[in-house]
């Protein structure tokens, strides 16, 4: 038997028992894929991350991310939380780490900046989404409403139809008509399976990110991913980044736009995700995701 050290953090919050919990295995060397998957299922969080030595010594670490049922190429809250853990450790695989990190992931390289408080503790981390924006097929209001237990007229289509989009991990972006519709929504598996079957070319588990505007630069959101065994996620940085990038396609983008995503309210785990959306010469260039994290547990598990 082998003991593995782990740290759990609540991400996109500075308050314990809010935000999105994440388990971080700080040294995943020697673990087989099946063991990583089993550990992620045992924690039962929306994601668990595993830190490995980098393949390229110029980078900080290789990071692998697992939901309870599958590995994913990129996700926002595991990167924000894992960066918090790494920066707090200060040393990784015998090397000092600073305030600029780079993780090797299946979606590509993820660049991270660490912000510290006056006492030297980690106050927040900012990650850059690893891939350009890709936009897929649209879905009818009737089809997506059925997956959410809503009426078709509660799907807001004045700005855009429900659509697949990604900057590293793919989601269905759905605007709803207001907070009341957002609060009533609940994922319906059979209609969602029909949507997935109708859009096999998207190669997507049909994780659905629904949102409504509560201010000029402030969105309330929820995310359902039942095919990943995530009934609801309290904070989804990768989906937030996809939304921020996608919104630049709906009007002439500013060179720099900030957007706050508030998520997890309906779950009692309020999260705050801050986006900086950068355009160059009127075209989307990249998006960064910023959030705080707070440590909750440290321990060992046996494999």
Query: What is d(CA 113, CA 174) in angstroms, rounded to the nearest whole number?
Result: 30
Q: Which domain holds residue 188?
A: 134-291
Tell me, what's the pLDDT at 282?
82
Please tell me whether residues 90 and 239 are part of one structural domain: no
198-204: average pLDDT: 96
Judged against a pLDDT cut of 70, whether residue 107 lies above it is answered with yes
Half-sphere exposure of 21 (CA within 13 A, CB side): 18
Please tell me whether residues 152 and 273 are part of one structural domain: yes
Tell me, what's the pLDDT at 74?
97
Enclosing H/E stretch for 51: strand 48-52
Tell me, what's the pLDDT at 1?
87
Please tell me whether residues 198 and 73 are part of one structural domain: no
Of all residues in the chain, what percent are helix, strand and coil, respectively (each to 5)?
A: 25, 40, 35
Q: Write down the H helix ranges in 104-178.
A: 141-148
Q: Is 47 tagged catalytic?
A: yes
Please tell me whether residues 239 and 267 are part of one structural domain: yes
Instruction: Provide the mean pLDDT of the chain.
Output: 97
The pLDDT tens digits for 264-286 are 999 999 999 999 999 998 889 99
Please tell me whether residues 159 and 83 are part of one structural domain: no
Please tell me whether residues 213 and 253 are part of one structural domain: yes
Judged against a pLDDT cut of 80, whether residue 252 lies above it is answered with no
Query: Which listed residue (32, 42, 47, 266) is catalytic?
Result: 47
Please tell me whether residues 141 and 261 are part of one structural domain: yes
* Angle of the 76-89 helix axis to the 237-247 helix axis, nearest 10: 120
Query: What is d(CA 110, CA 102) in angstroms, rounded to the nearest whole number?
Result: 6
Q: How confident is the model at residue 251 (pLDDT cuts 50, 70, 90)?
A: confident
Q: Is 242 helix (H, G, I), strand (E, B) or coil?
A: helix
Q: Residue 161 maps to which CATH number?
A: 3.10.310.10
Please tell me whether residues 283 and 297 are part of one structural domain: no
Query: Structurally, how many domains does the chain consist of?
Result: 2
171 with 201: CB under 8 angstroms? no
Q: How confident is the model at residue 253 (pLDDT cuts 50, 70, 90)?
A: low
Tokens of 262: 């508030």
Please tell me whether residues 143 and 268 are part of one structural domain: yes
Judged against a pLDDT cut of 80, whether residue 11 lies above it is answered with yes
Judged against a pLDDT cut of 70, whether residue 302 lies above it is answered with yes
Please tell me whether residues 151 and 285 are part of one structural domain: yes
Query: What is d(CA 263, CA 181) in angstroms, rounded to the nearest whole number?
Result: 15
Please tell me whether residues 121 and 202 are part of one structural domain: no
132-157: average pLDDT: 98
210-230: average pLDDT: 96
Please tell me whether residues 233 and 149 are part of one structural domain: yes
Tell me, what's the pLDDT at 179?
98
Judged against a pLDDT cut of 90, whether residue 26 lies above it is answered with yes
């Amino acid at each position: 038997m082998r003991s593995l050290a782990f740290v759990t953090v609540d991400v996109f919050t500075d308050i314990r028992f809010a935000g999105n919990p994440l388990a971080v295995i700080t040294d995943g060397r020697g673990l087989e894929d099946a063991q990583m998957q089993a550990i992620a299922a045992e924690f039962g969080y929306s994601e668990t991350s595993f830190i490995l030595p980098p393949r390229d010594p110029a980078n900080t670490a290789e990071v692998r991310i697992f939901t309870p049922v599958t590995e994913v190429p990129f996700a926002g809250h595991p990167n924000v939380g894992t960066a918090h853990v790494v920066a707090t450790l200060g040393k990784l695989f015998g090397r000092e780490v600073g305030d600029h990190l780079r993780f090797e992931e299946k979606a590509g390289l993820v660049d991270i900046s660490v912000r510290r408080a006056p006492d030297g503790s980690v106050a927040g981390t900012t990650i850059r989404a690893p891939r350009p924006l890709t936009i897929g097929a649209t879905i009818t209001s009737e089809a997506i409403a059925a997956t959410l237990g809503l009426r078709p007229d509660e799907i807001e289509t004045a700005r855009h139809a429900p659509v697949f989009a990604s900057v590293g991990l793919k989601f269905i972006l759905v605007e709803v008509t207001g907070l009341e519709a957002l609060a009533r929504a609940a994922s319906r598996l059979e209609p969602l399976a029909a949507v997935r079957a109708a859009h096999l070319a998207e190669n997507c588990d049909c994780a659905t990110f629904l949102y409504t505007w509560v201010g000029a630069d402030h969105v309330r959101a929820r995310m359902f991913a039942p095919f990943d065994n995530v009934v609801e996620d309290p904070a989804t940085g990768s989906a937030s980044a996809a939304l921020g990038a996608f919104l630049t396609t709906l009007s002439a983008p500013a060179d720099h736009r900030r957007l706050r995503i508030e998520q997890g309210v309906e779950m009692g785990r309020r999260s705050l995700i801050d986006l900086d959306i950068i355009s160059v010469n009127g075209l989307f260039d990249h998006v960064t995701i910023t959030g705080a994290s707070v440590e909750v547990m440290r321990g060992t598990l046996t494999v």
